[in-house]
Amino acid sequence: MKKIVLVCVAGMSTSLLVSRMRDAAKADNYPCEINAYPIADASAVIPEADIVLLGPQVKYMTNKLKKEYSEKIIEAIDMRIYGMVDGKGALMQARQLMGE
């Protein structure tokens, strides 16, 4: 089971996106765990994640986190997908980044 982690400023703004991603995963019978966390918790949650998607508010942290966790897939969520709260699109982005 893949573990998908979304990171934003406080972990709150991505909660609706997480909910829609979970719905999309369920509809596709894709076994995964999807959760959102504040950037302050990054060091605790990134080591266990298969992929980390960053919200637009913390996109500036991408390079720093990639250096710290070079073995992890860490990317910013596509702005269009985030803005439209497109759970299916965000899940598809995560799966493509993981090579699925």
- Point out the residues that are catalytic: 8
Per the DSSP assignment, residues forming a β-bridge with 33 are 3
Identify the H or E element spanning 1. none
Q: Are 37 and 45 in contact (CB under 8 A)?
A: yes
Name every residue whose Cβ is closer than 8 Å to that of residue 61 and which is 6 or more positions away in sequence. Answer: 7, 39, 42, 54
CB atoms within 10 A of CB 35: 17
